[in-house]
Structure 1
Amino acid sequence: MIIAYQYRLKPTKHQQDKIDHWLSMLCAQYNYLLADRFRWYEENRCSINACPLVCYLPGLRDNPDYYSQKKTLPNLKKTHPWYKEIYSQVLQDVVKRVKLAFDRFIKGDSNGKRSGRPRFKKQHRYRTFTYPQMKEGCLEGNLINLPKIGKVKIVLHRPIPDGFKIKTASITKKCDGYYLVLSLEDKTVPEVKPDINPDSIIGIDVGLKEFLTTSEGETVNIPQYYRRSQKRLRVIQKRVSRRKKGGKNRLKAIKQLGKQHKKVADKRKNFHFKTANYLLLKYDVIAHEKLNIKGLAKSRLAKSVLDAGWSSFLAILASKALNAGLLAIPVSAQNTSQNCSNCGKRVPKKLHVRWHDCPHCGCSLDRDHNAAINIKNRAEGQSVLKAQRLLSDSRTGWEAYTEPARSV
């Protein structure tokens, strides 16, 4: 099992300057390697149905891939000696980041979905570098030993779990300071809980009136952290717009605005984690809709959808369920609000109608509660849950068979 822990760093002034200097050099190298890939792509690609009869053919060269770009790093340190300050594996990780960004643009991810054209990074947009390997014993009390940076103080607000090994370490510069993200691995922890109860299942329907409604009728209020902080954000945004561009006072105002936005994001993230923990402590299987959140974020409800943070919540729920050995099952969202949860017949209703009244069977309940029951019913028909139920039944039967007869 792999988990990630985030801690706050307290570097000295000298260490801060070194981290900032590294980030600026790594940003320049990232842009150079990305430009090299784009140069090859533009010179060597040609659509078959649009090739002119007379055209200029540049000298063909090999496609710059991960390994060929990695071989250029020793020469980089000769032509630009200041790059010797950077730890070699951190510099190699930049090549990997370029490869991943370009592959998502050309080939797409594992599902075949392609992302947009990678953009060149401005210096303030390149904020993270990674140590791909960390030595054992790098964490000594409240200090972590980072190669070529030294021992940096860390706010260890929670200890590393016993048996877990530190795999990677990422340093990120945010508006309110520096943070360390440790990737931890323990191969002895099982990925799936062996004694999962497939009958302990619940369906949840996320919404804008209530953050979520369960199939048992329980609701969780939506906090709307962004809308509550809009007044404060508006004041700081005016302060930014009135400052002279390029001035120190404008940079101070931008930093203040970033801190306010981060405060909103942290509150929302904390709410998502607490809600996910609450559900996973009560149930072994949680079913939710497979939503097109990107499409909803382009509608008239964009501000409310983004303020609720459904995508972030569902990702946290799936991740924590996986780490706990539980199940988070996505189901189709089609007609979950329109179909009756009792008889299954369709009862059309518009978005402003918040109550479900079925004329066929007389079922009457809240619209979101009805949708949550439909989600639960669809999850019970999933092959994953059926297999888990069969496994549970076979285990129970074997235990009953092997149990000795009790005396009366």
Structure 2
Amino acid sequence: MRTAYQYKLRPTKQQIIELDRWLSMLCAQYNYLLADRFNWYEQNRSPVNACPLICYLPELRDNPDYYSQKKTLPQLKKTHPWYGEIYSQVLQDVVKRVKTTFDRFLKGDSNGKRSGKPRFKSRSRYRTFTYPQVKEGCLQGNLINLPMFGKVKVVLHRPIPDGFKIKTASVTKKADGYYLTLSLEDETVPEVKPNFNPRSITGIDVGLKEFLTTSEGETVAISQYYRKAQKRLRITQKRVSRRKKGSNRRQKAVKQLGKSHKKVADQRKDFHFKTANWLLSKYDVIAHEELNVKGLARTRLAKSVLDAGWSSFLSILANKAVNAGLLVMTVCAYNTSQDCSNCGEKVPKKLHVRWHDCPYCGCSLDRDHNAAIVIKNRAVGQPVLKARSMSYAVAGVAEKPTPDCTQLV
């Protein structure tokens, strides 16, 4: 089993200067390696029989892949001796990041989805470096020993579980300081197998009036953290725009603005985790509609949609359900708010109409509640739950006690 814990770092002033220096050098190397790949790609991507009659013929050379770029690091340390102060594996990880970024641009990820063209990173956008391997016992009390950097104080707000070993360590610079992310692994812990009761199911309909409504009629109020902080953010943003570019006062204002935005993001993330915990502690199966959040973010409701953070919430919900051995499933979102949950007939209604009144069967309830029941009905009809329900019926199992997910979420 593999997991990750994140802790706050408390470096000294001299260590902060050194961390910033490392990030600056790694950013420059990242941009250089990315430019090398772009040069080769632009000059050698066309086959010989497809070139125009009049063209520039570059010097042919091999594709700068992961291994060839990795071999340039010893020469880099000779021409630029200050790079010798950075741990070798940290530099090698920069080459790996360039490879991953460029491969996703050309070939796509494991699902075949291609990313956009990689961008050169400014110093403010390159914020993380990684130790792919760390020695056992690197964490001693509240100090972590980073190779070729030294010991840095860590705020251990929770202990590392017994039996887990630290595999990698990443240092990230955020608006309010530096953070340490430890990747932990314990091979003796088996993967959690799905063990859910198909009868303990609910459908959820996310919205902007209420954050979500369950098929049982329970609602979670929407917390508009960005809108609540918008007035303060506007003042802070004005302070940044009125100050001279490159000045120390502008840098202070930018740092203050970053802290304000991070606070909003942290509040939203905490709300998502607590809501996911509440759902997983009550139900074994949670169904939701398959949303096109990117499309919704291009409408007039973009600010409210992005403030709600549906994609982030559904991702957290799915990940925590896997860890708890429960199930989160998606259903088709077509006409979930138009179909009647009682008779199945289509009852057209515009967005401002918040109440569902079916003229065919007389069903009358809140629009979001009706949609949540439709989502639940569609999930019950899926083969996974049908097969599971039959196995429970044959075994004569009435109810399975809901597991305590408070320690898992």
TM-score, normalised to structure 2's length? Answer: 0.93
1:104-119 equivalences in 2 (<5 Å): 104-119=104-119
Aligned to 1:44: 44
Alignment of 1:309 with 2:309, yes or no, is yes
Q: 1:238 to 1:390 in 2, by over 3 A?
A: same
Q: Is the 8 A contact 2:7 2:181 kept in 1?
A: yes
Q: CA deviation at 1:252?
A: 0.6
For residues 214 and 112 of structure 1, the distance between their equivalents in structure 2, rounded to whole angstroms, comes to: 34
Residue 261 of structure 1 aligns to a residue in which SS?
Answer: helix
- For 2:380, the aligned partner's letter is E
Q: What CA RMSD, in Å, does the superposition of the two structures yield over aligned residues? A: 1.9
- For 1:202, the aligned partner's letter is T
Q: 1:95 to 1:386 in 2, by over 3 A?
A: farther
Aligned to 2:123: 123
Alignment of 1:226 with 2:217, yes or no, is no
- For 1:183, the aligned partner's letter is S
Q: 1:70 to 1:293 in 2, by over 3 A?
A: same
Q: Is the 8 A contact 2:347 2:358 kept in 1?
A: yes
Residue 180 of structure 2 aligns to a residue in which SS?
Answer: strand
Aligned to 1:8: 8
Aligned to 1:185: 185
Q: Is the 8 A contact 2:203 2:372 kept in 1?
A: yes
Aligned to 2:404: none
Q: CA deviation at 1:249?
A: 0.6
Residues 147-193 of structure 1: CA deviation (Å, up to 9, x unaligned): 11222111111111223222211100111111011122233434334
The alignment of Structure 1 onto Structure 2 pairs a total of residues equal to 397
Q: Is the 8 A contact 2:194 2:322 kept in 1?
A: no
- For 1:83, the aligned partner's letter is Y
Aligned to 2:21: 21
More moved, 209-218 vs 194-203: 194-203
Q: Is the 8 A contact 2:213 2:369 kept in 1?
A: yes
Aligned to 1:200: 200
For residues 34 and 394 of structure 1, the distance between their equivalents in structure 2, rounded to whole angstroms, comes to: 59
Runs (5+) with no aligned partner, structure 2:
398-409
Aligned to 1:276: 276
For residues 394 and 67 of structure 1, the distance between their equivalents in structure 2, rounded to whole angstroms, comes to: 57
Alignment of 1:329 with 2:333, yes or no, is no
- For 2:124, the aligned partner's letter is H
Aligned to 1:97: 97
Alignment of 1:211 with 2:250, yes or no, is no
- For 2:333, the aligned partner's letter is A
Q: 1:176 to 1:298 in 2, by over 3 A?
A: same
Runs (5+) with no aligned partner, structure 1:
398-408
Q: 1:352 to 1:56 in 2, by over 3 A?
A: same
Q: 1:284 to 1:187 in 2, by over 3 A?
A: farther
Aligned to 2:168: 168
Q: 1:232 to 1:395 in 2, by over 3 A?
A: same
Q: CA deviation at 1:9?
A: 0.4
- For 1:12, the aligned partner's letter is T
Q: Is the 8 A contact 2:26 2:94 kept in 1?
A: yes
- For 2:232, the aligned partner's letter is R
Aligned to 1:286: 286
Q: CA deviation at 1:390?
A: 5.0
For residues 259 and 204 of structure 1, the distance between their equivalents in structure 2, rounded to whole angstroms, comes to: 33
Alignment of 1:255 with 2:255, yes or no, is yes
Q: Is the 8 A contact 2:355 2:367 kept in 1?
A: yes
What fraction of aligned residue pairs are identical, expressed as a percent? 79
1:366-405 equivalences in 2 (<5 Å): 366-389=366-389, 392=392
Alignment of 1:65 with 2:65, yes or no, is yes
For residues 388 and 183 of structure 2, the distance between their equivalents in structure 1, rounded to whole angstroms, comes to: 30
For residues 257 and 291 of structure 2, the distance between their equivalents in structure 1, rounded to whole angstroms, comes to: 31
Residues 101-147 of structure 1: CA deviation (Å, up to 9, x unaligned): 11111111222222111110101110001111222222222111211
TM-score, normalised to structure 1's length? Answer: 0.93
Q: CA deviation at 1:11?
A: 1.1
Residues 343-372 of structure 1: CA deviation (Å, up to 9, x unaligned): 112111111111111111111111111111
- For 1:72, the aligned partner's letter is T
Aligned to 2:403: none
Residues 22-61 of structure 1: CA deviation (Å, up to 9, x unaligned): 1001000000010001001100123899742332322221
